[in-house]
Amino acid sequence: MYALQSLLILASLGVNAFGATYSQSDSHTGTGFLKSFTHEAISDPTHGRVNYVDQSTALAKNLTFASGDTFIIRADHTTTLSSSGPGRDSVRLQSNKQYTTHVTIWNIRHMPQGCGTWPAVWEVGADWPNNGEVDILEGVNDQSPNQATLHTSSGCSMPSSRDQSGNSVGNNCDTASTNNAGCGVQVTQSNSYGPSFNSNGGGWYAMERTDTEVKVWFWPRNGNVPSDVANGETTIDTDGWGQPFAYFPDTDCDINSHFGPQNLIINLTFCGDWAGAVFDSDNCPGDCATYVNENPAAFTNAYFDIAWLKIYE
């Protein structure tokens, strides 16, 4: 009786009384992305060799395509660029809604690949870095595995030992003191990114954010994926998902004060601060900007194919 009364009190206060159980608040498939996301025709904040186009241009040039359970966003792969002109046409989408405590599940069949590419699925607040950034899927130049990263203002770091399956590549999340590297964790599976991800038919990425932690999971296609994830069910329980590959606790970071309301972003840029900086060391040919300008056919496979996105709160 007292337990029931406690649950009712928690429910009346808007508290999730069932721990890691969430209900679906948004579901995006096919043309639904066009209604729920905005094409951002902006200058690339990462200084890439890219020209982000608006929705009408993206649709007219077939850089965005939606039909049934298929949603494609891609870069131009037919135009040779002038070195004095704008970068390669591509797409950057931002969700119209913002989220705080929530879970996202991304069912992705294909991600952009090719030397010079820098694709990402991530979340960011309006006042960067003070409202934080969570990178769920990100990499450059076809270099597997995937890396999940937090970028914050000062005073946020991660313990060197924590309950995750991935490998930490930095524990200080402060952008100012890490030259924007943040605190990253790499997946152990090679098929989590790039050509190997695509040849395996893709997979699922999921991210859970609360006031006290951020977790990121990856399951490859035909892998041991939880049924509520695979089916995009209306109610999910993250406690049944096993160990995340990336775990960011509030041990030495007040998650609630470092992360504000965030928009979801999907984008594809080229070269820039990361892909351009490591272009040679990633065994890509010549100069990154020149390669992107002069080799349009190299970006035939530079596209996202997203089956669906489910959001839970």
Q: What CATH number is associated with residue 176?
A: 2.60.120.200
Choice among 138, 208, 213, 233 that is catalytic: 138
Inter-CA distances, 232 with 25, 27, 89, 136, 204, Å: 12, 9, 32, 18, 10
Q: Return phi, psi of residue 81, to 5°.
A: -95, 150
* Sequence-distant (≥ 6) Cβ neighbours of residue 245 within 8 angstroms: 148, 164, 165, 166, 185, 187, 188, 216, 217, 218
- Which tokens go with 173? 């999340």
Whether residue 294 lies in the annotated active site: no
| CB-count exposure of residue 275 (10 Å: 0-12, 13-18, 19+) | buried
Residue listed under structure tokens 């991304």: 106
Q: Does residue 13 form part of some domain? A: no
Whether residue 133 lies in the annotated active site: yes
Q: Does residue 3 form part of some domain? A: no
Q: Does residue 8 form part of some domain? A: no
Q: What's the pLDDT score for residue 95?
A: 98
Q: Does residue 10 form part of some domain? A: no
Q: Does residue 37 form part of some domain? A: yes
Q: Would you call 158 helix, strand, or coil by DSSP?
A: coil
Spell out the per-residue pLDDT of the chain, length 313, in tens: 444 444 444 444 434 434 589 999 999 999 999 999 999 999 999 999 999 999 999 999 999 999 999 999 999 999 999 999 999 999 999 999 999 999 999 999 999 999 999 999 999 999 999 999 999 999 999 999 999 999 999 999 999 999 999 999 999 999 999 999 999 999 999 999 999 999 999 999 999 999 999 999 999 999 899 999 999 999 999 999 999 999 999 999 999 999 999 999 999 999 999 999 999 999 999 999 999 999 999 999 999 999 999 999 9
Q: Does residue 4 form part of some domain? A: no
Q: Does residue 11 form part of some domain? A: no
Please count the structural domains in the chain.
1
Residue 42: domain span: 18-312
Please check whether residue 135 is in contact with residue 149, taking contact to mean a CB–CB distance below 8 angstroms.
Answer: yes
Q: What's the pLDDT score for residue 1?
A: 43
Choice among 123, 133, 233, 294 that is catalytic: 133
Q: Does residue 110 form part of some domain? A: yes
Residue listed under structure tokens 């820098």: 118
Q: What's the pLDDT score for residue 17?
A: 39
